[in-house]
Amino acid sequence: MEVEWDPEKARLNLQKHGVDFADAATALHDEMAITIPDDDPDEQRFVTLASDVLGRVLVVVCTWRGPRIRLISARPATRRERKQYEGKRR
């Protein structure tokens, strides 16, 4: 699975949320990930709750662009979201 992102969007995301898109991309390989469709009227998006390579639980929003996954945003999960993720791991 190939993952891509806009470099400027990645810079802004790192500044706002402290999450590098390169790290966020690793969360998409988490076997315990929870992914649900997002209600975006312009394009089909997905919200994934998963652990990245650094062990952080993240919320990653992405879409399909042809054969690639395009990252839109990534942020640390809230306490409630972390509990939801950890509940699935049990």
What distance in Å separates the CA atoms of residue 13 and residue 2, rounded to the nearest whole number? 20
pLDDT of residue 40: 77
Q: In the Cβ-directed half-sphere of 78, how many Cα atoms lie within 13 Å?
A: 2
Task: Flag the least confident range among 1-5, 11-15, 19-23, 46-50.
Answer: 1-5
The whole-number pLDDT of residue 39 equals: 83
Token couple for 59: 């919320």
User: Residue 57 pLDDT more than 70?
Assistant: yes
pLDDT, tens digit, 9 for 90 and up, residues 13-43 = 999 999 999 999 999 999 999 999 998 788 8
pTM, two decimals, is: 0.92
3-class DSSP state for residue 87?
Answer: helix
Single-letter amino acid code for the residue at 78: T
Q: For residue 72, give the nearest of 23, 1, 24, 2 by alpha carbon.
A: 24
DSSP assignment letter at 4: E
Count of domains for the chain: 1
Domain range for 77 is 2-89
What confidence score (pLDDT) does residue 69 get? 97
CATH number (domain holding residue 85)? 3.10.450.530
